[in-house]
């Protein structure tokens, strides 16, 4: 193989998407995931970590996708920040069906997991390997909106960068979350267990 062909192949590989162009939006999210999220205040002060385990699968391809994530604090520092503790403790399991319309997504839950909390989710596929979601919390321990950007480093690793804006305080960020998720399996049936496992 000539050096021009090798360079051409390398450029094509580097510029190609992780997800095949023929894949439906959100296909790359299907499977079992485990993760660790670190929380910071706006000044960059570390406030604790949360471990998670989740599953995503199609209930009806390509229009209805199921999402579940179980989370638990893994750091005592999180207990020192009452507002962040309220946000984390309000719901430790996030579970909902999401309607998919092309690249757009919406859904959520009312009285989520027996709590008074309501979560409304909207999202979009900006690129096959980049997604943006807004989660609006109502009647929770800490009402407001989480803005999450998901970036797939490769098929099995996803990075999430998000910020929290309290209800009624538009433009004011109180927390920043940085999460790394690792795929455990492409098969959703092999998923759930405690987040720490």
Alpha helices in 91-147 (DSSP H): none
What percent of the chain is predicted at pLDDT more than 90?
A: 60
* Mean confidence (pLDDT) of the chain: 84
Rounded to an integer, the average pLDDT of 82-88 is: 69
Q: Contact at 8 Å (CB) between 56 and 67?
A: yes
Q: Is the pLDDT of residue 56 over 60?
A: yes
Q: Average pLDDT for residues 167-172, to the nearest whole number?
A: 91
How is residue 128 annotated by DSSP? T
Section 110-130 average pLDDT: 92
Domain boundaries, the chain: 27-188
Tokens representing 32 are: 């079992």
Band (74; pLDDT cuts 50, 70, 90)? confident
CA pair distance 13, 9, nearest whole angstrom: 6
Banded pLDDT at 10 (limits 50, 70, 90):
very low
What pLDDT score was predicted for residue 186? 93
With 80 as the cut, is the pLDDT of residue 46 above it?
yes
Model confidence at 170: pLDDT above 80: yes
Over residues 39-44, mean pLDDT: 92
**pLDDT exceeds cutoff 80 at 162:** yes
Going by DSSP bridges, is the β-strand pair 64-73/31-41 parallel, antiparallel, or unpaired? Answer: unpaired
How confident is the model at residue 145, as a pLDDT? 94
Question: Is the pLDDT score of 123 beyond 50?
Answer: yes
What's the pTM?
0.82
Q: Which CATH architecture has domain 27-188?
A: Beta Barrel (2.40)
Q: In which band, very low, low, confident or very high, does the pLDDT at 9 lie, cut at 50, 70 and 90?
A: very low
What the block records as the tokens of 64 is 């209805």
d(CA 55, CA 70): 9
Q: What are 99's strand-pairing partners?
A: 64, 106
Reply yes or no on whether the pLDDT at 197 is more than 90.
no
For 181, residues 6+ apart whose C-beta sits below 8 A from its C-beta are 33, 34, 35, 52, 54, 157, 158, 159, 160
| Beta bridge pairs of residue 158 | 152, 181
């Amino acid at each position: 193989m000539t050096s021009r062909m090798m360079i051409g192949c390398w450029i094509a590989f580097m510029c190609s998407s992780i997800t095949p162009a023929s894949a439906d939006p959100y296909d790359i999210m299907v499977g079992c995931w485990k993760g660790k999220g670190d929380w910071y205040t706006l000044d960059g002060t570390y406030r604790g970590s949360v471990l998670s385990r989740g599953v995503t699968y199609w209930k009806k391809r390509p229009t209805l996708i199921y999402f579940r994530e179980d989370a638990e604090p893994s750091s005592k520092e999180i207990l020192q920040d009452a507002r962040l503790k309220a946000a984390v403790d309000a719901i430790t399991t996030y579970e909902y069906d999401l309607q998919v319309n092309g690249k757009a997504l919406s859904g959520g839950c009312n009285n989520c997991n027996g709590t008074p909390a309501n979560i409304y989710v909207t999202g979009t596929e900006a690129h096959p390997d980049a997604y943006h979601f807004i989660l609006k919390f109502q009647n929770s321990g800490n009402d407001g909106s989480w803005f999450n950007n998901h970036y797939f480093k490769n098929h099995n690793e996803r990075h999430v960068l998000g910020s929290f804006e309290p209800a009624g305080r538009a433009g004011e960020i109180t927390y920043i979350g940085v999460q790394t998720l690792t795929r455990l399996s492409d098969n959703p049936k092999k998923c759930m267990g405690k987040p720490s496992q």
